[in-house]
Amino acid sequence: MSGRVPPSGQPAAPEPPSKGIEVGLIPFVASIVGVLLVIGIIGGVLWVTHDGEEVSSSTSTGAETPGGALSGRPTLKVSVKGNQLTWTMDYEGLREGDYFKIKTGGAPDAVTGDAVPLPRGETEYEQTIAPGVRQCGMVQVVRGGGTQTSGWSAVQCEETGS
Protein backbone atom coordinates (compact mmCIF):
# COMPACT_ATOMS: atom_id res chain seq x y z
CA MET A 1 0.00 0.00 0.00
CA SER A 2 1.10 3.47 -0.68
CA GLY A 3 1.22 5.97 2.09
CA ARG A 4 -0.89 8.42 0.11
CA VAL A 5 -4.52 8.90 0.81
CA PRO A 6 -6.50 9.63 -2.35
CA PRO A 7 -8.65 12.72 -2.49
CA SER A 8 -12.20 12.13 -1.49
CA GLY A 9 -14.42 10.74 -4.21
CA GLN A 10 -11.59 9.20 -6.17
CA PRO A 11 -10.79 5.48 -6.16
CA ALA A 12 -7.62 4.26 -4.54
CA ALA A 13 -4.63 3.63 -6.77
CA PRO A 14 -4.13 -0.02 -7.70
CA GLU A 15 -1.43 -1.87 -5.82
CA PRO A 16 1.51 -3.16 -7.82
CA PRO A 17 1.52 -6.93 -8.48
CA SER A 18 3.29 -8.89 -5.79
CA LYS A 19 6.54 -10.55 -6.61
CA GLY A 20 7.20 -13.98 -5.11
CA ILE A 21 5.05 -16.77 -3.71
CA GLU A 22 1.61 -15.97 -2.49
CA VAL A 23 0.92 -16.81 1.12
CA GLY A 24 -1.83 -19.35 0.14
CA LEU A 25 0.55 -21.36 -2.08
CA ILE A 26 3.10 -22.14 0.65
CA PRO A 27 0.78 -24.43 2.68
CA PHE A 28 -0.24 -26.25 -0.54
CA VAL A 29 3.38 -26.95 -1.55
CA ALA A 30 4.24 -27.95 2.02
CA SER A 31 1.38 -30.46 2.11
CA ILE A 32 2.52 -32.08 -1.18
CA VAL A 33 6.08 -32.37 0.12
CA GLY A 34 4.76 -33.86 3.37
CA VAL A 35 2.67 -36.50 1.55
CA LEU A 36 5.64 -37.49 -0.62
CA LEU A 37 7.83 -37.75 2.46
CA VAL A 38 5.32 -40.03 4.24
CA ILE A 39 5.01 -42.26 1.14
CA GLY A 40 8.81 -42.48 0.94
CA ILE A 41 9.11 -43.47 4.61
CA ILE A 42 6.41 -46.15 4.31
CA GLY A 43 8.03 -47.51 1.14
CA GLY A 44 11.42 -47.64 2.86
CA VAL A 45 10.03 -49.48 5.88
CA LEU A 46 8.27 -52.02 3.64
CA TRP A 47 11.43 -52.53 1.58
CA VAL A 48 13.58 -53.17 4.67
CA THR A 49 11.09 -55.52 6.33
CA HIS A 50 10.53 -57.42 3.05
CA ASP A 51 14.26 -58.13 2.58
CA GLY A 52 15.06 -61.85 2.70
CA GLU A 53 11.49 -63.08 2.25
CA GLU A 54 10.54 -65.12 -0.78
CA VAL A 55 7.77 -63.81 -2.96
CA SER A 56 5.03 -66.39 -3.10
CA SER A 57 2.36 -66.79 -5.73
CA SER A 58 -0.42 -69.32 -5.91
CA THR A 59 0.58 -70.26 -9.47
CA SER A 60 4.37 -70.12 -9.31
CA THR A 61 6.31 -73.27 -8.46
CA GLY A 62 9.77 -72.80 -9.87
CA ALA A 63 9.03 -75.64 -12.28
CA GLU A 64 7.23 -73.24 -14.58
CA THR A 65 8.41 -70.70 -17.06
CA PRO A 66 6.73 -67.34 -17.63
CA GLY A 67 4.91 -68.41 -20.81
CA GLY A 68 2.87 -71.05 -18.99
CA ALA A 69 5.12 -73.91 -19.99
CA LEU A 70 6.55 -76.25 -17.36
CA SER A 71 10.33 -76.37 -17.26
CA GLY A 72 12.15 -79.51 -18.20
CA ARG A 73 10.85 -82.59 -19.92
CA PRO A 74 9.50 -85.84 -18.56
CA THR A 75 11.41 -89.09 -18.99
CA LEU A 76 10.00 -92.12 -20.76
CA LYS A 77 11.07 -95.77 -20.53
CA VAL A 78 9.59 -98.65 -22.43
CA SER A 79 9.71 -102.34 -21.55
CA VAL A 80 8.55 -105.35 -23.60
CA LYS A 81 6.85 -108.53 -22.48
CA GLY A 82 5.73 -110.64 -25.45
CA ASN A 83 3.67 -108.37 -27.66
CA GLN A 84 2.88 -105.89 -24.87
CA LEU A 85 4.75 -102.62 -24.40
CA THR A 86 4.68 -100.83 -21.06
CA TRP A 87 5.50 -97.12 -21.25
CA THR A 88 6.66 -95.73 -17.87
CA MET A 89 6.72 -91.96 -17.40
CA ASP A 90 8.32 -89.72 -14.78
CA TYR A 91 8.58 -85.98 -14.21
CA GLU A 92 10.57 -84.37 -11.40
CA GLY A 93 8.06 -81.57 -10.70
CA LEU A 94 4.93 -83.76 -10.91
CA ARG A 95 2.05 -82.51 -8.73
CA GLU A 96 -1.30 -83.87 -7.73
CA GLY A 97 -3.69 -83.11 -10.60
CA ASP A 98 -0.99 -83.27 -13.30
CA TYR A 99 -1.31 -85.89 -16.00
CA PHE A 100 0.68 -87.28 -18.91
CA LYS A 101 -0.17 -87.33 -22.62
CA ILE A 102 1.51 -89.95 -24.82
CA LYS A 103 1.98 -90.12 -28.60
CA THR A 104 3.11 -93.30 -30.34
CA GLY A 105 4.09 -94.30 -33.86
CA GLY A 106 6.02 -96.89 -35.85
CA ALA A 107 9.24 -94.84 -36.15
CA PRO A 108 10.85 -91.88 -34.34
CA ASP A 109 9.70 -89.45 -37.04
CA ALA A 110 6.23 -91.07 -37.15
CA VAL A 111 5.29 -90.19 -33.55
CA THR A 112 2.58 -87.77 -34.62
CA GLY A 113 -1.13 -87.25 -34.35
CA ASP A 114 -3.31 -86.87 -31.31
CA ALA A 115 -1.86 -87.59 -27.90
CA VAL A 116 -3.67 -89.96 -25.56
CA PRO A 117 -4.25 -88.41 -22.11
CA LEU A 118 -3.66 -90.75 -19.18
CA PRO A 119 -5.89 -90.60 -16.10
CA ARG A 120 -4.53 -88.33 -13.38
CA GLY A 121 -2.01 -90.11 -11.21
CA GLU A 122 -1.23 -92.80 -13.83
CA THR A 123 2.43 -93.14 -14.81
CA GLU A 124 2.19 -96.26 -17.01
CA TYR A 125 0.56 -96.87 -20.36
CA GLU A 126 0.24 -100.40 -21.76
CA GLN A 127 -0.02 -101.07 -25.45
CA THR A 128 -0.49 -104.41 -27.20
CA ILE A 129 0.81 -104.61 -30.77
CA ALA A 130 1.58 -107.37 -33.25
CA PRO A 131 4.73 -109.46 -32.69
CA GLY A 132 7.88 -108.14 -34.37
CA VAL A 133 6.54 -104.60 -34.75
CA ARG A 134 8.58 -101.59 -33.67
CA GLN A 135 6.77 -98.85 -31.74
CA CYS A 136 8.08 -95.44 -30.65
CA GLY A 137 6.61 -92.93 -28.23
CA MET A 138 7.05 -89.67 -26.35
CA VAL A 139 5.20 -88.03 -23.43
CA GLN A 140 4.32 -84.60 -22.10
CA VAL A 141 3.08 -83.36 -18.69
CA VAL A 142 -0.13 -81.28 -18.51
CA ARG A 143 -1.03 -78.99 -15.58
CA GLY A 144 -3.80 -76.55 -14.80
CA GLY A 145 -6.49 -77.97 -17.04
CA GLY A 146 -4.21 -77.80 -20.05
CA THR A 147 -2.98 -74.23 -19.60
CA GLN A 148 0.56 -75.37 -18.76
CA THR A 149 2.52 -78.10 -20.52
CA SER A 150 6.05 -79.42 -20.38
CA GLY A 151 8.23 -80.10 -23.37
CA TRP A 152 7.94 -83.53 -24.99
CA SER A 153 10.23 -86.29 -23.73
CA ALA A 154 12.90 -87.80 -25.90
CA VAL A 155 11.48 -90.43 -28.27
CA GLN A 156 11.89 -94.03 -27.07
CA CYS A 157 11.46 -97.05 -29.35
CA GLU A 158 11.14 -100.82 -28.80
CA GLU A 159 10.20 -103.86 -30.85
CA THR A 160 7.83 -106.54 -29.58
CA GLY A 161 8.97 -110.15 -29.41
CA SER A 162 8.33 -112.48 -32.32
Minimum mean pLDDT range among 37-41, 73-77, 87-91: 37-41
Over its C-alpha atoms, the chain yields an Rg (Å, rounded) of 37
**What is the tens place of the pLDDT at every residue in 105-132?**
999 998 988 899 999 989 999 999 999 9
Rounded-to-integer distance, Cα 19 and Cα 35, Å: 27
pTM over the 0.75 mark = no
Q: What residues does each domain of the chain span?
A: 22-50, 75-159
CATH topology of domain 75-159: Immunoglobulin-like (2.60.40)
**What is the tens place of the pLDDT at every residue in 32-70?**
999 999 998 988 888 777 655 544 443 444 454 555 678
Give the CA distances from residue 36 to residues 22, 29, 46, 94, in Å, rounded to whole numbers and listed in that order: 22, 11, 15, 47
